[in-house]
Amino acid sequence: MTTSNTKRFFTLSLLALALTTSASAQSNKASQQVSINVAEIAVISVQGNINMTIASATAGQAPDAATATATYAVTTNGKDKKISARLDRNMSRGLTLFATMDAPSKARSAGKVELSNKSVDLVSRISNVNESGLALTYEAVATVDATPDTYVRTITYTITNN
């Protein structure tokens, strides 16, 4: 064998080795690791516009209370949550606002609760739930000390750890 034939043979051998190595490195399978992080979710929404009018009374008795209904929805994948509510500012003299929230499955409603600018719990023991159309009832109660006017308040509902 001459030097040029040796070089040619050596080059072809390296080329053949490279091709067989890359061909054997390929496969009909591939795999990849996927990581999924599920964060804790706790969300609430309220539906409906609330307008109440206190406009009647029986002679010798306090004015008749006014009621209104709305609905709410809640979703959480967490355990032992609660829903609390608070007004942006207290009700005026002679006027009281109450709220009642029906509890989702396996949770507990506090019943009719007076709202103020301090947070109060309305529902507790909420765990792993996604429900909507839950009843939310309001009752406005006035005494004769309530000045005739239109009163507007914002109620903030919060879902937190119990």
Specify the pTM.
Answer: 0.80
User: Cα dist. 104→69, 74, 98 in Å?
Assistant: 17, 8, 19
- Dihedral angle sign, alpha carbons of residues 72, 75, 81, 87: negative
Whether pLDDT at 37 is above 80:
yes
Tell me the average pLDDT across 144-151.
Answer: 96
> Looking at residues 19-26, what average pLDDT do you find?
56
pLDDT at 64 over 70: yes
86-124 pLDDT per residue, tens: 999 999 999 999 999 999 999 999 999 999 999 999 999
Specify the fold of 42-161. Immunoglobulin-like (2.60.40)
For range 23-36, the mean pLDDT: 85
Band (pLDDT 50/70/90 cuts) for residue 26 is confident
Q: What is the pLDDT averaged over residues 71-100?
A: 98
Question: CB under 8 Å to 49, separation ≥6 — which residues?
Answer: 70
| Mean pLDDT, residues 134-159 | 97
Question: What is the domain partition of the chain in residue ranges?
Answer: 42-161
Round the average pLDDT of the chain to a whole number and report it.
Answer: 90
Neighbours of 90 (CB within 10 A): 14
Q: Which of 17-21, 62-66, 97-101 shows the lowest mean pLDDT across its residues? A: 17-21
pLDDT reported for residue 18: 55
